[in-house]
A and B are shown apart, each in its own frame.
Chain A
């Protein structure tokens, strides 16, 4: 299957053509915001990190910031720092260049002589870059260039019954055509990790799946949360979920049935095609951010209760099989899958409809979160010990 996308100089394929105004440290965040706000074609997000960080946290910050620049939906970036921060611009740009050769300009507020000078210069640089970007034309690209992120949040009974199974079928179909589908949120794999491990493409990967999931479980136990003892919750049981593996499968089923090819670390880009897992916390904003940094061009987000999340560089297509939620929060959700619950459509038929809509979004149809310019404030970087 082919779609019209933007071919980048580093070989990746984008579905959007943004110029990213990036603050490499919190001290430059307001400058970056003011630059982006005045420009048509620029995106940005709040980054409050980049200084005063432990080594582990600095790595996470850099992995996300580098990944956001490298995301194929970004034509180029203007990186703005302060000057004296731990996340030194020179080191940061080296990491960027290891990932991508796309256009990147940088400024340091201490060198430019204050915020106003930096805003003026960054605006001029960005204006030029946006005009260059606007001359890019969409070209025919193979669907195998796609890394689809699948995410769930604000789940209810309809999520495990319809929305996630539909996305599982969509994942299977895309993977059969050579694409990649990625899901994450390691804590939600607890109870079904043995099933995922059996689907690993090699015994070593199976061991890695078990190790990562058990490490996350140990972290939970260390803070007093034993998921195997507390889940499924009494509310889950009343709602028809009997066992922990059933609950976890309801979540991970959105990745479909194909073999697991790889389990990448937080915010890392997959090196394999097919079904890929990423080790992330289950806080949606952190997980969506990590997938964007890992190179997903599109994220489909399944929900039951309703959700608002967007991302500055990646369209987040939100779907729900709860018809009431869809009607109640229609401005946040792109598709209503409740036809399956009304007995009008099979899961398979619904999956074909979702796949057709995904193709339209790949080729430029805007998601509701994009139109609302959501994502600026919802980009959250994982902190050591902070998010489960």
Chain B
């Protein structure tokens, strides 16, 4: 069955989407953001893994579920696979830096 979308953006605040089929380098990622279809080209991402939907600078937070799930350990370009090679847990960073 041909699907209209091949990725899910769980929350409009997120900067990563999760792909629902394996995508090769050069393929289009298509997802809905607040009801509007968004397209971008990926460098390749395995099924159920995350793809950056905008450029994310080193040290920036990664948002999924509208919440912080990690911190970028290098610059991440829009369309790149986001995983253990370029992000890490942000919980210690948050606890250490949060002055609330």
Tally of contact residues, A, Cβ under 8 A: 30
How close is A367's CB to chain B, nearest CB, in angstroms?
A: 27
What per-residue 1/0 map shows which CB atoms of B67-95 lie under 8 Å from chain A? 11110000000000011100111110011
What per-residue 1/0 map shows which CB atoms of B1-43 lie under 8 Å from chain A? 1011110101100000010100000000000100100000000
How close is B63's CB to chain A, nearest CB, in angstroms?
A: 10
Knowing A246-B69, A246-B70 touch, does A240 contact B4 (C-beta < 8 A)? no
Asked if A249 and B4 make an inter-chain contact with CB atoms under 8 angstroms apart, the answer reads no
Number of inter-chain CB pairs below 8 Å: 83
CA distance A240 to B47 in the complex (A): 8
Knowing A242-B84, A243-B90, A245-B89 touch, does A343 contact B4 (C-beta < 8 A)? yes
A348 surroundings in chain B (CB, below 8 A): 35
Asked if B87 and A240 make an inter-chain contact with CB atoms under 8 angstroms apart, the answer reads no
Please provide the chain A residues from 154 to 208 with a CB less than 8 Å away from any CB of chain B in the complex: 157, 161-162, 165, 168, 191-192, 194-195, 198
CA distance A157 to B56 in the complex (A): 25
Asked if A240 and B49 make an inter-chain contact with CB atoms under 8 angstroms apart, the answer reads yes
Q: Which secondary structure dominates where chain B touches chain A?
A: loop
Asked if A162 and B69 make an inter-chain contact with CB atoms under 8 angstroms apart, the answer reads no
How close is B61's CB to chain A, nearest CB, in angstroms?
A: 11
A360 surroundings in chain B (CB, below 8 A): none
Which residue among A237, A239, A240 has the maximum number of chain B CB atoms within 10 Å of its CB? A240
Asked if A244 and B5 make an inter-chain contact with CB atoms under 8 angstroms apart, the answer reads no
CA distance A340 to B8 in the complex (A): 9
Asked if B35 and A346 make an inter-chain contact with CB atoms under 8 angstroms apart, the answer reads yes
- Asked if A257 is at the interface (CB within 8 A of a chain B CB), the reply is yes
CA distance A314 to B77 in the complex (A): 49
What per-residue 1/0 map shows which CB atoms of A23-65 lie under 8 Å from chain B? 0000000000000000000000000000000000000000000
Q: 20 new A-B pairs (CB below 8 Å) besides A240-B18, A245-B68, A245-B70? A: A157-B48, A161-B48, A165-B10, A239-B48, A240-B48, A240-B49, A242-B69, A243-B70, A243-B88, A243-B90, A245-B89, A246-B69, A249-B64, A249-B67, A253-B10, A253-B65, A340-B8, A341-B20, A343-B20, A347-B8
B residues with a Cβ closer than 8 A to A are: 1, 3-6, 8, 10-11, 18, 20, 32, 35, 46-50, 64-70, 82-84, 87-91, 94-95, 98, 100
Query: Which 7 A/B pairs are nearest by Cβ-Cβ distance?
Result: A343-B3, A343-B5, A246-B69, A240-B49, A240-B48, A243-B89, A343-B4
A residues with a Cβ closer than 8 A to B are: 157, 161-162, 165, 168, 191-192, 194-195, 198, 237, 239-240, 242-246, 249-250, 253, 257, 340-344, 346-348
20 contacts between A and B (CB under 8 A): A161-B8, A194-B91, A237-B83, A237-B84, A240-B48, A242-B50, A242-B82, A242-B83, A243-B70, A243-B87, A243-B90, A245-B89, A245-B90, A245-B91, A246-B69, A341-B8, A341-B20, A343-B4, A343-B6, A344-B4
